[in-house]
Structure 1
Amino acid sequence: MSKQKQLSDQSKLIGEHPKSGLFFDWFECEDTFATTRKKHRKLINKGIESTTLVNNLAQWIIKHHFTEEREDKIKKKKQILDKHKFAQSMVGQVRFPIESVTTQKGNLAEIILAEYLTDTSGLETLVYKLRYNPNVEQSMKGDDILLFEKKNIQNKVIMGEAKFRENKDKKALDDIIKSLSSKNLPISLSFVSNMLELEGKTALSEEIDDLITKLHNDITPITFVGFYFSELTAYQTIEKNLDSDNDNLVIVSYSEDNPSQLVKNSFEKALDMIMN
């Protein structure tokens, strides 16, 4: 009988890296040597076809910024108006940032982290917070990522913080570690509960309300995940400087050859999908 593979500390907290699908094709993954103060998952683009990646990222951008109802309304509007009139009518109505490059970068980092953790952990995003941002040109306040086990809300929560840096920066890592201290609880649970209530998901909303009490009483465990999206050598900053007393913290680094260009191409493609 063959020996069962022992899970890394990173995999115990956020699940194993996918063995098939987009993330498998996209990322070379390494769970580096873990200690009680350093748990780092290193992701590097291993050469996925650029068009494939941009198309998938664009679809995620739309998914995270638009409700299905909103998408349906836009499709119907397209059918009624000719292309020129449709484009004019949509000015100011597209729910992802067009002008703010900084916000685009931050939003895409959050989106990638949410989709990756959904795949690895099996937990779910219950509320896509970017759909409710009152000012799409600015980053939305609150927790970047909250994932839940939908069948048992009280079982586990993943709380994530995402940072984009064109050039690697130790301060960004320090900010992630500070934000994801084990003493910090999610601050957006009331927002999640309210949005679920507005969507008619009353039972889930009530479970989130119960969860707030359990988290304050240390009954439900939280896994903390920092996402560091930057240049090709970004992982070196993590390996050299990651030091946290939060034993439930994993830092996931994503090293990309030209991260700013990837963000630009992805948002341009998302806009093109909406407009054409």
Structure 2
Amino acid sequence: MKKNLLAIAVGAAVAMPGLALADGPTVYGKVNVSLENAEFDDGVNPSEDAWELNSNASRLGVKGDFDLDVAGLKAIYQAEFEISVDDGDKGGQTFTQRNIYGGLKGGFGTLKAGKFDTPTKKAQGKIDQFNDIGGDIKNVLSGENRVSNIVQYSTPALGDLVTLNAAFIPAENNDIDGDGDPETGLADTISVSLVAEKDMFYGAIAHDADMTDELITDETGTSPTIDITRVALGLKPGNFEIGALFQTAEETEADGE
């Protein structure tokens, strides 16, 4: 009987977009499960088609803010973890870190630090209609990075239209450029974006410099970091959406792109 009651309670919580506790945080979650028939061909060992139950970035999280009673400032926070609904195993773990940060928000804008999506990743907006499933653009384009040790400042919406997001990531004594010397600077990697959003229009331009990215094609040198420039445009008249994204990515210290 206890197990049945627990299952009902969990199901109800997941069905809610967000459960706001009185004068406290918002607890939220998403279960995104798909039953798929797919054929995998890596060019070496092609396999027969098979049925799979996949948990597509299902998650649980908590977020909120509270007044600091100092100069109109608010403290903000978020802690979000991915869960594997299909088999409970995410790389050998039950929970894996998604966007987790703490920060301040006020009339000056928003300052936050932790591990979260870069401004360039966020610049895609809702252009990716296959987000979180097999067709996610992270499997095609570089720049879809959620990075650790990132500090970001975002301006208020200027003219109720444009927001500037600027982030830096210290390498913390790691050799990210492959030159044999560890990086010890404050901004060894940067990510910036300029986003315009008004009514049905969305537009963004973003750039990453010295970004570590697993998706590197046409590799010509030994540079493990890349520079990325991304432009996204979208329109949403009513329930119809149309969008386009153009991007270039090239090795920081070589000619691959």
The interval holding the TM-score normalised by the smaller chain is: under 0.3
Q: Greater strand percent: which structure?
A: 2
RCO comparison, higher one (Cα < 8 Å, 6+):
1
Structure with a larger share of its residues in helix = 1
**TM-score of the aligned structures, taking structure 1 as reference length:** 0.26
